[in-house]
Structure 1
Amino acid sequence: MAGDKAQTILLLFFLQFPLLQAAKILTVCFIGGSHYLLMDEISQILHNNGHQVRMFLQYGNSMLPGRPLQQRPYSVSTYSLDKKYLQENEELFVESQKDYLVGRNTLQNFVIFLRELSYQCNITLQQSDILNFLKEEKYDLAVIEGFNPCSFLVMEKLGLPFIAFFPGMMMNGGRIGIPGPLSYVPLFGSELTDRMDFFGRLKNTMMYLGSYMIDRIMDAPFQEVIDQHFPAGSRPTITDLQRRAELWIYNIDFSTEFPRPLLPNVQFIGGLLAKPAKPVTQDLEDLIAESGESGFIVVTLGSMISSLPLVEFLKEMNDGFAKIPQRVIWRYNKTSWPKELSIAQNVRLMDWVSQNDLLGHPKVRLLVTHGGMNSLMEAVYHGVPVVGIPLFGDQYENVVRIKAKNMGTFIPPDQMKAENLANALQEIMENSSYKTSAMKQRVVLRSRPFPPDKQLVGWVEHIIQSGGGGHLRPYSYQQPWYQQYLLDVILFISACVGVTIYLIVKVIRLLIYLMSSNRKQKQN
């Protein structure tokens, strides 16, 4: 009898929490480089966990220079940009790199980049055959690359519930309603830490006041796309679309990020590409063996930057590496190396390197990186100190955090001199405190209760099972702006205080008048 009762309770328990059947999931990626690497990894993780996955991919920006093409286990719907446009876009990117390498990382450059994305988005929204096919497939959920606003416009066209995966740090926290106290949460672009002095807090506040105008400037190229592809009366804003995400996932972790308040619909799942190291190729192992006790350093400046367009910058880096005893394994397109520049004897150029595997090698001493989040997560995972050379985007903010955690330092590109680089490399490798800090952050990252792939799958399946993320989103998403900032309450209190002060003044004036009248009557 007791056994029957136990079986009944167990059955009721499982009926309340039914097992999730294989879901149909669409992943969306319209940017190449590290953005594509992450979305490819997400697609593979979901596929390996039994879900039916298809990626909507913009071909042309997804290829990685020097990286061998790999067979994907999931389905792909793709389209290609015009070859002439791709060539022109590549030339524009090279010109932008020249600006970045001399320290000109301006808002204007970023707006130009967004205009290119908006032009590509126009082409994307014209792919009616693919869009109709995807709409007819009736996916349960989409996981989109959340940096490119075009992903949100495609979701609006398809009418799908979606999770937004952001490939880097929290650049858009304020836009999606995440609390950000200005006293200890630095704004994107401020290059501040969470330990701000008075002038740091002043800078943070002034940047916050100007952020609304900057958001409008950055949204303008895509607002034109919205006007063209959505009928009047039902045209969404970028902020509206971002707030429709069932869940926001950021490719960051508190091993590098500063502590800050979060909402239930925001999850930090950083380090999807950081994994236990595999053995390197035999030729690399032989090269590393030649380094002896000095070891080697890894140099990579991003998955989309296979060469540097400024010979002067390249010469300073090469001369800096020549001043250290370590071997240098540098990911660089060998055919693009300037013929007039002799490669330092301790430097090996390679078109592609398995960065994660090299960082897990026992003889690695340091990573020289542009400061991309994927590279930093791999460095943290393997406990490797860092010297950053930030170029654009969130890279400056990322390396500020690495320096604040005492995991390394950074050199602004306009200060790149051989002596500066050599000194920074020697300081990080000879001062054991940096390695100690790197190993401490490694423990923080690796000792999370669940690995990032399990967190990803768990949250995706939770959103599908619960029918969306409405229970995670704050009510503030539905409030008008004046209610969110309590302006109506402030106005009411101000009015009450004003009326009270007015009445008090009137009463005092009346009392004074009556008292003066009584004196005059007594005198008369």
Structure 2
Amino acid sequence: MAVIEKLLVVVLLFSQFLQLGGFKVLTLAFMGGSHYLLMDEISNILHKRGHEVRMLLQEGVRLTPGRHYEHSDTYQVTKWSASENVIDEYNKWFHNFTKDCLKGRTTVHSYLDLMGHLASQCHFVLNESRTLSSLKQEKFHLAVIDAFNPCSFLVAEKLGLPFVAVYPGTFVNAPQAGIPSPLSYVPLAQSLLSDRMDFWERLKNCLMSLFAPKIKNQIYDKFDNVIREHFPATPRPALPELYLKAELWIYDTDFSIEFVRPLLPSTVYIGGLLAKPAKPLPQEFEDFIESTGEAGFIIVTLGSMLSSIPFPQLLKEINKSFAQLPQGVIWRYQVSHWPKEINLAPNVKIAEWLPQNDLLGHPKVRLFVTHGGLNSLMESVYHGVPVVGIPLFGDQHDNMIRVEARNMGLSVSIDQLEANSFGSTMKQVIGDQRYKAAAEGLSTILRSHPFPPEQRLAGWIEHVLKVGSGTHLQPHAFHQMWYQQYLLDVWLFLIASLLGMLYLCLKLIGYITLKACNTGKQKQA
């Protein structure tokens, strides 16, 4: 008994030590779907490391129908919501937006419209004076924010908290974060280019870079009214300045799939954070997989935001293509939205929700048909499963460019999807062992990283917490004027000096020539 009592005392002392050594961290989750899943995982990891974590969570945003994402009661949650009218307007817009995506008609204007809706919602959280005052009184040491939504930066600034920015994708916003992006081998977002560009592709990349600042400014303009209303005192914060104010930039990507590029010391990549060793499947899935025999099965999901296809003709083509396959098909689809006039292919099982990571880790999986979201692709890389992508919007097209560059799979355009060609593409990726070998090779790269994603994430955040700042990881360029960063003042000085020297030389030559002419005339006289 004495030994047990001593052990209990040691455990209590150790737990108190952990509690005393922990920090208070506020996480901001203002988006649904995969964005929420990533922030939830980060919150759980930090909590398990002994920190006191609270999430400021927006309610009313779209999640996957049929599957309610709830945190595992390991950290506290404070919720807020925009008005019903604003949320309804956003959901209606998003419904129409997904229809446009399925028709292959997304544009930059769609992205700007999304930012406009996020700005409208931002007014409500900044008006939550009681909630924000309560959070201020808790004296958090650090905020960890979803950097996709600019409102997160404004809330962190309103609370007066240093913050770590988590971007749920590839380095598409690298210039905003101050990360060097040489145009000769770093393709811009939406360029659909790889890192191996010929002359014309590098020309395209350069020309696109001229228009990129205009798009950024249009995004900033969406939040101008928010900043003016909620930050009345001058100088007001500006989004470009807030992006450079982040203590760390954390990206949900990995160089197993991402193109190699230069990074700053304040940049951390944690791709694969949601990928885990596979757990046993629910019996209904295991029974279906068993019925597929040696042919195995494929997984189909078009992301957390798209649970059904409202176009019967497109749905018929996809369903018909699956019927051509010898494999079984497990398809995440909202069962209640399946049209009665379309007979589901006999080898297809539809379900409201899929244990995606666990299915990808099953030994009989042959292919993953995906929208190209980065979380899904990183899980596919982790488990070494080749993919066929149907990119719909955002970074998904660029993500699939990376997949094809790594020979891990092929991409299909949604507006050109036809049963026979789609079926042939799936058969090609399943039948050609090069795709499987490439996927397994990428899996080896990801899994053999010297430090797992959880350790990189927590280690760097704790480094900033202990030091009190991440400024020692940032270049002085963040504090230079734009003309100083590009050495325009130096080049102007050198050019002016060269022109001055050239002018003096010409004047000297003129003087010598004139002197020589005058001397000659005097001799002749």
* Pairwise TM-score range, normalised by the shorter structure: over 0.9
Partner amino acid, structure 2, of 1:431 = D
Paired position in structure 1 for 2:384: 383
Paired position in structure 2 for 1:323: 324
Q: Distance in 2 between matches of 1:88 and 1:503?
A: 69
Aligned length: 507
Q: CA deviation at 1:518?
A: 4.0
Q: CA deviation at 1:384?
A: 0.2
Q: Distance in 2 between matches of 1:190 and 1:360?
A: 32
Q: CA deviation at 1:331?
A: 0.4
Distance 1:79 1:506, change over 3 A: same
Q: Distance in 2 between matches of 1:408 and 1:333?
A: 26
Q: Distance in 2 between matches of 1:482 and 1:309?
A: 51
Map residues 336-347 of structure 1 onto 2, 5 A cutoff: 336-347=337-348
Paired position in structure 1 for 2:357: 356
Distance 1:69 1:31, change over 3 A: closer
Q: Distance in 2 between matches of 1:233 and 1:494?
A: 39
Map residues 414-425 of structure 1 onto 2, 5 A cutoff: 414-425=415-426
SS class of match (2:176)? helix
Q: Distance in 1 between matches of 2:35 and 2:230?
A: 25
Q: CA deviation at 1:85?
A: 3.1
SS class of match (2:28)? strand
Paired position in structure 2 for 1:85: 86
SS class of match (2:47)? helix
Paired position in structure 1 for 2:123: 122
Higher mean C-alpha deviation, range 188-197 or range 229-238 = 229-238
Q: CA deviation at 1:69?
A: 4.5
Q: CA deviation at 1:498?
A: 0.9
Paired position in structure 1 for 2:13: none
Q: Distance in 2 between matches of 1:461 and 1:245?
A: 15
Paired position in structure 2 for 1:54: 54
**Structure 1: segments with no counterpart, 5+ residues:** 1-17
**Contact kept? 1:183, 1:201, Cα under 8 Å:** yes
Q: CA deviation at 1:268?
A: 0.7
Distance 1:130 1:327, change over 3 A: same
Q: Distance in 1 between matches of 2:226 and 2:314?
A: 38
Paired position in structure 2 for 1:14: none
Alignment of 1:197 onto 2:198? yes
Using structure 1 for the length normalisation, give the TM-score: 0.94
Paired position in structure 2 for 1:6: none
Paired position in structure 2 for 1:434: 435
Q: Distance in 1 between matches of 2:157 and 2:498?
A: 46
Alignment of 1:43 onto 2:31? no
Paired position in structure 2 for 1:149: 150
**Contact kept? 2:266, 2:474, Cα under 8 Å:** yes
Alignment of 1:484 onto 2:485? yes
**Contact kept? 2:63, 2:304, Cα under 8 Å:** no
Partner amino acid, structure 2, of 1:501 = L
Distance 1:396 1:29, change over 3 A: same
Partner amino acid, structure 2, of 1:267 = V
CA offsets 1:200-221 (integer angstroms, 9 cap, x no match): 1101111111111111011110
CA offsets 1:76-125 (integer angstroms, 9 cap, x no match): 00022333432332221111112112222211111001000000001111
Q: CA deviation at 1:259?
A: 0.7
Higher mean C-alpha deviation, range 204-213 or range 501-510 = 501-510
Q: Distance in 1 between matches of 2:296 and 2:153?
A: 46
Alignment of 1:31 onto 2:28? no
**Contact kept? 1:385, 1:435, Cα under 8 Å:** yes
Fraction of identical pairs, as percent:
52
**Contact kept? 1:67, 1:352, Cα under 8 Å:** yes
Paired position in structure 2 for 1:461: 462
Paired position in structure 1 for 2:3: none
Higher mean C-alpha deviation, range 234-243 or range 339-348 = 339-348
Q: CA deviation at 1:258?
A: 0.7
CA offsets 1:147-182 (integer angstroms, 9 cap, x no match): 100000001100011111111011211122111111
SS class of match (1:143)? strand
CA offsets 1:399-451 (integer angstroms, 9 cap, x no match): 10010000001012112111221111011011100000000000000001111
**Contact kept? 1:144, 1:151, Cα under 8 Å:** yes
Map residues 31-430 of structure 1 onto 2, 5 A cutoff: 31-61=31-61, 63-70=63-70, 71-430=72-431
Q: Distance in 2 between matches of 1:365 and 1:202?
A: 39
**Structure 2: segments with no counterpart, 5+ residues:** 1-17
Q: Distance in 1 between matches of 2:187 and 2:518?
A: 62
Q: Distance in 1 between matches of 2:416 and 2:510?
A: 69
Q: CA deviation at 1:352?
A: 0.3
SS class of match (2:237)? coil
Q: Distance in 2 between matches of 1:518 and 1:100?
A: 84
Q: Distance in 2 between matches of 1:486 and 1:422?
A: 54
**Contact kept? 1:97, 1:309, Cα under 8 Å:** no
Q: Distance in 2 between matches of 1:522 and 1:419?
A: 98
Paired position in structure 2 for 1:510: 511
**Contact kept? 1:94, 1:309, Cα under 8 Å:** no
CA offsets 1:121-152 (integer angstroms, 9 cap, x no match): 01111111110110000011111111100000
Q: Distance in 2 between matches of 1:35 and 1:20?
A: 31
Q: Distance in 1 between matches of 2:145 and 2:263?
A: 21
Partner amino acid, structure 1, of 2:82 = L
CA offsets 1:437-493 (integer angstroms, 9 cap, x no match): 000000000001111111111111111111111111111111111111111101101
SS class of match (1:53)? strand
Partner amino acid, structure 1, of 2:22 = A
Paired position in structure 2 for 1:8: none
Using structure 2 for the length normalisation, give the TM-score: 0.94
SS class of match (1:225)? helix
Paired position in structure 1 for 2:8: none
Q: Distance in 2 between matches of 1:232 and 1:79?
A: 25
Q: Distance in 1 between matches of 2:475 and 2:313?
A: 51
Q: Distance in 2 between matches of 1:468 and 1:142?
A: 12
SS class of match (2:471)? coil
Q: Distance in 2 between matches of 1:86 and 1:307?
A: 21
